[in-house]
Homo-oligomer: A and B are copies of this chain.
Amino acid sequence: MFSVPTLIVNEAQCKANIKFMAKKAAANNVVFRPHFKTHQDIRIGEWFRNESVNCITVSSVRMAILFADNGWKDITIAFPLNFHEIDSINELAAIINLNIIITNEESIDFLKTNLKTKTGVFIETDCGYHRTGVDVEKTEVFKKMITEICKIENCRFKGLLAHFGNTYSVTGKQQVLDIYSQSLKKLNKLKDGLKNEYENILISIGDTPSCSLTDSFEGVDEIRPGNFAFYDVQQLFIGSCVQEQIALYLLCPVVDVFPERDEIVVYGGAVHLSKDSAMLNNERIFGLTARWNGKKRGCIIPDSFVKSLSQEHGIIKMPKTEIAKIKPGDFIAVLPTHSCLTASEMKHNYCFV
């Protein structure tokens, strides 16, 4: 049935992950605007629709067009405005409810003369991750930017959008929740400083660790997690999920077995898994492993991990007792370190089981 590295989605588990987050959002009365950059698949999009999701997040204009073509009518492009795609943005905003994000004053100047269609605008707010966004402490800069945005006929100012991406570099529920609560406190302080002049400022947040682990979305209007649909080894190590929740894996043919090195070699390399990594006992690893019974993966094999990746080769460390059961031609399931990137490497060609 399978002959080359194949990307498997456990459909029941993925649907359960989606249902869990949809219910949590509904119970907390926040808008659920899941990030579709993780799966980028119109069939998985339907699984979200079945949970009453009708607004989504993407990270490129190309993805927005893909999902708009599939009937999604309310899309936020959560990536800083790329001036060179303004024509596509104008076209898209004419047919759907489109939101873009702005991270600097140059972008506002650009929109003044180039935005031709009514578009929602968020200001990306940096609460400590320091990737993009305006520093959350700079209330006066926000005031100036919002004032300018509100002057532009085609801009509808929506609110403050943040990504607490620093939760990806910690481990443990408490550390995630500390970042979440501190970042959210800063965001709401900023909102308080703005609310006398500007009404209805939405707070949109979105990282999978926070959304998975918090019990309270107080002070939040909208959540945008994406990775949780699949989860992965990075999220497992952070503590955002348990291993049963990891719904995506790469099925790899074994091509060589080295009992004397405690290693096997699989067809499944950097172009299939991506070179993103996670740290395990001070070692950089590229995935965990599980057996495959012809239909489903088993539990994670203890003391086994992907040690290195070439373009097409994966080198897997494994205890001798496990290696003794494996021969060339068998299949091994590799749980990716970062499912979003593995899905991208595999061009979002999924096999649903």
Q: How far is the CA of A315 from the CA of B103 in the complex (A)?
A: 14
A344, B345: Cα distance in complex, Å = 8
A3 at the interface (CB under 8 A from B): yes
Instruction: Given the known inter-chain contacts A165-B310, A270-B274, A312-B59, please indicate yes or no for A130 contacting B265, CB distance below 8 A.
Output: no
A352 proximal to B (CB < 8 A): no
A275 at interface by CB-CB < 8 Å = yes
Binds B, one of A82-90, A148-156, A291-299: A82-90
Give the Cβ gap from A242 to chain B, nearest Cβ, in Å: 24
Residues of chain A at interface, number, CB under 8 A: 51
Kindly provide the distance from the CB of A92 to the nearest chain B CB, expressed in whole angstroms.
Answer: 14
CA distance in complex: A340, B311 (Å): 8
A256-B104 CB under 8 A given contacts A165-B310, A271-B344, A313-B131:
yes
Per a CB cutoff under 8 Å, which of B4, B60, B255, B340 touches A103? B255
Enumerate chain A interface residues (CB-CB to B < 8 A): 2-4, 37, 59-62, 79-85, 103-104, 106-107, 110, 130-132, 165, 253, 255-257, 261, 265, 267, 270-271, 274-277, 308, 310-313, 315, 327-329, 340-341, 344-345, 347
A256: which B residues are within 8 A, CB to CB?
Answer: 80, 103-104, 132
How many of these chains are in the complex? 2
Looking at the assembled complex, report how far the CB atom of A94 sits from the nearest CB atom of chain B, in whole angstroms: 18
Chain B residues with CB under 8 Å of A3's CB are 82, 84-85
Please measure, in the bound complex, the distance between the C-alpha atom of A345 and the C-alpha atom of B276, giving whole angstroms.
13
- Across-interface contacts of A82 in B (CB, < 8 A): 3-4, 253, 255, 267
B329 touches A110 (CB 8 A): yes
CB-CB under 8 A for A107 and B4, given A267-B82, A276-B275: no
Q: Which 9 A-B pairs have the closest CB atoms?
A: A3-B84, A80-B255, A83-B329, A275-B275, A271-B344, A275-B276, A106-B328, A59-B312, A103-B256
